[in-house]
Structure 1
Amino acid sequence: MLGRLLVRLEDDYRLNLRRAPEVRQACAEAYGPASEPMAVSLTELLGVIGAHQWRTKGVKVPALDARIYPHYGVFSPVRGEYVDLVARAPLPATAAHRSGRLTAFDLGTGTGVLAAVLARRGIDHVVATDISPRALACARENVRRLHLTGHVDIVGPSLFPDGRADLIVCNPPWIPARPTSSVEQGVYDPDSSMLRNLLAGLTAHLEPGGEGWLVLSDLAELLELRTRSELLADITAAGLHVVNKADTRPRHPRTRDTADPLHCARAAEVGVLVRNVRRTAK
């Protein structure tokens, strides 16, 4: 019902209503500079306000012992269990690592949280990419806040950067369905196209003996939108094979929300999976 209610924003994003909250800064962050009056749904406006609060207060990331500040339209790292998996997984023992220098790509970096975790783990050079200009700006801001600009480069908009790396990490959208707005693009991947493009390009961008880490949820499998065998077939078709995986259970409050239409699936979810795929050394 809230989605059907429209509110008018004036040409400076002001709400011309009695006791209306101050929303101008939140709208400027979401929509850019104001130019003319516009109507938005109440649901969207609430989302814009919520995004501004996240950007102002930040999200505590224990693996970094710091806060990450999401921008509007960029997936927030509120599900810290997948960040913890990346923070704990053994780094690949490639020849480059043995010689004392390790490189990594973080594809679809979003807020830059995983790139920051990798840099804090001692990886010498991390290149982080995203196809979203909003995400690139967000990641650059977070990297500066964390004083990691000497270790992390943010490039794009693209999926793969030039060159090869010892480690490629990606937390692709988990649900193979079509998003209804740009805000949902961090969650929905129509026909698993990003996942397949990622797998198809891994071999060409991995150093011999390097690893690609996929950070995934099995929610799509529980919802019967994708099967485990389909995922494994895509990995095999890309010339890769699974060498290890680590599982965890989600800790977010929606797993306990019985009013959520997806409660049964969320409660049964095997949290986030890290599936390691390795290019054969030559």
Structure 2
Amino acid sequence: MTEFPSVSWHEKGEVRTAPWRSGSDLPPPKRVVIADDHMKASVAYHLACEGTAILWRGDFQNARQLLVALARRIDEPHKGKKQTVAEAERLTSIASSLPLSADEFHRYRLMQSQRARKLGMLLLPFDADFRIPLRRAPDVQQACTEAYGKATMPFIASLRELLGIIGAHEWRTKGVEVPVLSARIHPHYGVFAPIRAEYVDLVAAAPLPPVLLETPARGVAFDIGTGTGVLSALLAKRGVARVIAAERDARAVACARDNIALLKLDAQVEVQQVDLYPNGCAALIVCNPPWIPARPVSPLEHAVYDPESSMLRGFLNGLVAHLDPDGEGWLLLSDLGEHFGLRTRSELLELIDAAGLVVFDRIETRPHHPRVADVSDPLHAARQAEVTSLWRLRVRK
């Protein structure tokens, strides 16, 4: 009980308390009311906006419908004519001619954080075995075990968090198709899924270092921050004799090991839990760090946000010590941070130069995921201009 913060509420004339669980490390709500199927969406919206959480005692499916109604009210707080696609395109055209400032990006993140906080105000009770004691509640035991570990006690969590856990379980079960692997990768809860294929395609297309091909029996590659293990698997499929997949997050280590085993690549790929670099040197060192230099506000955001470019700096600054002579470092990086006003191209080049490295080639691609075409996205102009690059680096002679 002491491992988790607690949430308290009044019910049936007494004060009740239960552990609070949040994969996003959100604090427990300070005010909680009990509600069931009779609560109207307008009342729930008012409570959520003022910071009062709603502990649900009604039908589970009705709770899901209430969450949808809350999202609709949060996203469209003012009545009136909805913006047309043509109007959105016109505003995007205007915005695309203007640089997006870092302040604007941070305001957008604040807006998203406030939205998540309000939607997180609809709470569910969980029994000690991860069962939900509500009518028409689904069986979420396996999904919760994957996210939380072994069940030990009853607790309270938000419905929004549960839906994320269910979604992660479905991704893990069916996997993500990776065409260049001709296989599926199965992401675990809390591990970044390779749903954006462009960086994987870049690694599939880039020519391997000659030194790696000249001595294939002794060739070694490092994959720094391996995540699901997708890039390590791809390098092994391309014929690299030995790949060390380095990762510090325990969830990602378990995920990468599972994927490598499923792909039957254990003989070529070794997953190590290390802070950044494994011991030794390699002919090829690949890193796909978080692309946006901003502070994550939850553990799940560490795959996207790299505060003060710390992982990027660590990768670049360690290359000289860990590259074989004539070896290559491959940096996979989107320029979204530049479009968001968070980092300039000259700052990136200065980091590369200060690490004693030179850029001798760069392979580019543009994203083709659905959000690029979403003109209603406030960040649409930046996403449309985005370029993902594979920077081929060598030690400066």
TM range (shorter): over 0.9
2:213 equivalent in structure 1:
97
1:275 equivalent in structure 2:
391
Which of 191, 194, 205 is the matching residue for 1:77?
Answer: 194
Paired with 2:325 and 2:364, the residues of 1 have a C-alpha distance of 26
2:302 equivalent in structure 1:
185
Give the letter for the 1:255 counterpart: V
* Offset, 1:8: 1.8
Which of 252, 275, 285 is the matching residue for 1:168?
Answer: 285
Q: Is the 8 A contact 1:207 1:279 kept in 2?
A: no
Contiguous gaps of at least 5 residues in structure 1:
none
2:276 equivalent in structure 1:
159
| Residues 28-67 of structure 1: pairs in structure 2 closer than 5 A | 28-67=145-184
* Offset, 1:3: 2.1
* Offset, 1:108: 0.2
Deviations 1:188-215 (A, max 9, x none): 1111011101111111000011000011
* Offset, 1:10: 1.6
Q: Is the 8 A contact 1:209 1:280 kept in 2?
A: no
Deviating beyond 6 angstroms after TM superposition, the runs of 4 or more aligned structure 1 residues are none
The 3-state SS of whatever aligns with 2:367 is coil
The 3-state SS of whatever aligns with 1:100 is coil
Q: Is the 8 A contact 2:216 2:240 kept in 1?
A: no
1:229 equivalent in structure 2:
346
| Residues 129-278 of structure 1: pairs in structure 2 closer than 5 A | 129-270=246-387, 272-278=388-394
Query: Which is higher, the Rg of structure 1 or of structure 2?
Result: 2
Q: Which moved more, 1:34-43 or 1:160-169?
A: 34-43
Q: Which moved more, 1:119-128 or 1:97-106?
A: 97-106
The 3-state SS of whatever aligns with 2:188 is coil
* Offset, 1:182: 1.0
Q: Which moved more, 1:99-108 or 1:65-74?
A: 99-108
Length, aligned pairs only: 279
Contiguous gaps of at least 5 residues in structure 2:
1-117
2:23 equivalent in structure 1:
none
Q: Is the 8 A contact 1:136 1:157 kept in 2?
A: no
Give the letter for the 1:56 counterpart: T
Deviations 1:67-100 (A, max 9, x none): 0000001000001111011011001112x53233
| TM-score, normalising length: structure 1 | 0.96
Q: Is the 8 A contact 1:133 1:157 kept in 2?
A: no
Which of 234, 239, 244 is the matching residue for 1:122?
Answer: 239
* Offset, 1:280: 4.4
Paired with 1:60 and 1:188, the residues of 2 have a C-alpha distance of 25
Of all paired residues, the percent bearing the same amino acid is: 59
